[in-house]
Amino acid sequence: MGNKATVIGSGSWGTAIASLLAINNISVSIYCRNNSIAEDINSHRKNSAYFPGTALPEGIQATGNLLEALNHSDTVYLVVPTKFIRSFILSKMDVWRNACSSNSLLINCTKGLLLEPTQRTDDWLAQTLPGPELLHLSGPNLASEIMAGLPAAAVVCGRPQAAALVQQQLLSERFRVYTGTDMVGVEVSGFYKNILAIAAGLLTELGLGNNARAALITRGLAEMSRLTEYFGGDPASLSGLAGLGDLIVTCSSELSRNFQVGMRLGRGQGLAQIESEMTQVAEGVQASRALHEWPADHGLEGWPDLPIAEEVYSIVHCGADPRAALSRLMTRPPRSEATRS
């Protein structure tokens, strides 16, 4: 299990994970839905669709055959946009059942929430694919920087022995990997920071300053903490790489897809135009809608106060004026900073 790995998804993050594995002399099979990407990787050691000027490490073999990819190893990194996970896995359930045994590890590398019905991705994967052992990988990891060889860090959460195996596969001088056990906190951090990154892009485009960005990150972290408690996670996890770390980078960098969405909304562009012109998925768009719809699907009992997330939803999906949304946030009733609900 240790010297082979499978990556499902050949977008920017899937390619980066495959590269991190390959530089550690891990034999990688990467599943590509797009045959031209598979051909590019196999013939030219490049993924020109996402990193046209970057040569991939040796040891990466691409395939459009899911069974072939899954049969390559018992360690599977799932790097598929959240909006496609259900349809992708359900359409190939016979392959997953045949290839993934109880000895397999399935590492969820996504940062989103499922819709129709709303559900956490880890919960759905555990219910739908009961065979493999589930883990979750997350952190402040901009794929373009990783492909450029710049240093970064991440956390992999799950059963300690399994997390340690994944840690060893990815760990290198340029990629520091920590282990943890709070899969819930890490998953909530991953999808919630994308919602906040949209807000950060809006603030930046509207020229509202660094103080506003700092307030957004801090109060957004408070909302993230409430939501983590609601789902049964440990708010202490949010001070780590998947929480505060990822929140800082995605709320500060134009390399973040969700930050880009916020900036374009701030220029007056509509969601349909933005999504049609983006070549990759900004997970915060679906996550903001999923959180808004969560109480209708699961009930209001215990549901936390998430004013920033609600205003992002109103801007992204209802066309609300960003400055009016900011005014609503700034004129909410006074309260203690320590209020938990």
Q: Which amino acids are annotated catalytic?
A: 193
Beta bridge partners of 240: none
From the list 65, 55, 149, 54, the residue with the least C-alpha distance to 99 is 65
Helices (H) and strands (E) in the chain, counts: 16, 10
DSSP string, 279-296: SS--HHHHHHHHHHHHHH
Instruction: Give the CA distances from residue 262 to residues 189, 202, 307, in Å, rounded to whole numbers and listed in that order.
Output: 19, 4, 17
Question: 136: exposed, middle or buried (C-beta count within 10 Å: 0-12, 13-18, 19+)?
Answer: buried
Q: Is 25 left (phi over 0), alpha (psi -120 to 50) or beta?
A: left
Please give the torsion angle defined by the CA atoms of residues 235, 237, 238 and 239, in that order, rounded to the nearest 10 degrees: 120
Q: What share of the chain is helix, strand, coil (3-state, %, to 5)?
A: 55, 15, 35
CB count within 10 Å of CB 301 equals 7
From the list 299, 159, 270, 291, the residue with the least C-alpha distance to 228 is 291
Report d(CA 329, CA 341) in Å as an integer.
15
